[in-house]
Amino acid sequence: MARGKLRRLVYDQLEPTARKGRLSPTNRVIVVLVIIAAFTVIFETEPTISAGREPLFRLFELLFGIIFLVEFAARVWIAPDSPRFAGKPRPRLSYIMSWNAIIDMIAILPSLFAFADGSSIILRFFRILRMVRLAKLGRLSRAWRHVTQAIHSRRYELGLTVAIAVAAMLTAGTGLYLTEAEAQPDKFGSIPRALWWAIVTLTTVGYGDAYPITAAGKVVAGVVAVIGVGLIALPTGILASAFSEAVQKRSASDAADKED
C-alpha cells in the first residue's frame, strides 16, 4: 500500500496534467535542468569555450544523462496511474511505445557516449540529438496545445496561403531562371538554384549572395519582389490571428477546467 502511495505521490509530481494550476516543484526543476543541459550542449560545440574544459563538459553530460534516465524510469513506473495508459493491458509498455517516451529515449542515448572522442559528422549528429530534450519543455507546457489548436482551426487558410506562397516562389524562381541564367549560370543556371534566390528574396532575408544583374532580371525581380513579399506574408498574418484567438479561448476553457 505504501508503494502505491509513493507512486501516486511521484505521479502527482511528474505528470503535468495532474495539477490544474502550475507545474509541480519536480517538473520546475526538470524545466530548469533541460534548459541548463541545452546550454551545455550549445557551449560545448564552441571550441573557444570548450577547449581545455572537455572533462567538465563530460561530467556535466554524465550527470544530466543519469538525471534524465532516472526521470524516464520514474515515468515508466508511474504509467499505470496515468488515465491515458491505465486502461491498456500493458500500461508501461504502452508508455514506452508513446511519442513522449521515444523522444526521451532518443535524448538519453547520446549521454552514454559522452566520453567518446573525435569530431566526425556521425558523432556530431549523435551529440546534437541531446538538443531533442528541449521537446520536454513543450510537453510540460499546456501552451503547446494552443499552438496546435491555432494551426488546426485555420488549417484551410494556412494550407491555401502556403500553396500561394509556394506558387509565388516557383513563379519567381522560374522568372529569374529565364532572365538571368545566361548572365549568372552559377546562381540562376537552373530552377533549383533560382529557387534559393526566390526564398532568400521573398522572405526578405536578402543575403546578397544572389541577385539579378541584367536589366531584364532586375525588372522581373522588382515586380516579383513587390508582389511576392506580400503573398509570402499571408500565412504569417493568418497564423498570428489564429494564435491570438486560440489563446483568448483559453480563459474560457481554463474556467471550465477549474469547475471540474
Is 21 an interacting residue with respect to a second copy (CB under 8 A)? no
Chain positions 171 to 230 lying near a second copy, rule: CB under 8 A, are: 174, 177-178, 181-182, 189-193, 195-196, 199-201, 203-209, 211, 218, 222, 225-226, 229-230
Is 164 an interacting residue with respect to a second copy (CB under 8 A)? yes
Q: State the cell numbers at 247.
A: 489563446
Q: In this structure, what is the dihedral angle of CA atoms 239, 243, 245, 247, given to the nearest 10 degrees?
A: 180
Give the Cα separation of 226 and 260 in Å (integer): 52
Is 113 an interacting residue with respect to a second copy (CB under 8 A)? no
Window contacting a second copy (CB under 8 A); options: 19-27, 61-69, 87-95, 239-247: 239-247
**Minimum CB distance to a second copy, residue 123 (Å):** 12
Of 113, 139, 237, 249, the one binding a second copy by CB under 8 A: 237
**Minimum CB distance to a second copy, residue 100 (Å):** 17
Give the Cα separation of 33 and 58 in Å (integer): 16
Chain positions 73 to 102 lying near a second copy, rule: CB under 8 A, are: none
Of 79, 101, 107, 165, the one binding a second copy by CB under 8 A: 165
CB 91 within 8 A of CB 80: yes
Is 238 an interacting residue with respect to a second copy (CB under 8 A)? yes
Of 9, 155, 240, 249, the one binding a second copy by CB under 8 A: 240
**Minimum CB distance to a second copy, residue 110 (Å):** 13
**Minimum CB distance to a second copy, residue 20 (Å):** 16
Is 156 an interacting residue with respect to a second copy (CB under 8 A)? yes
x/- map, 41-80, a second copy, by CB under 8 A: xxx-xxx-x-------------------------------
**Minimum CB distance to a second copy, residue 207 (Å):** 4
Is 16 an interacting residue with respect to a second copy (CB under 8 A)? no
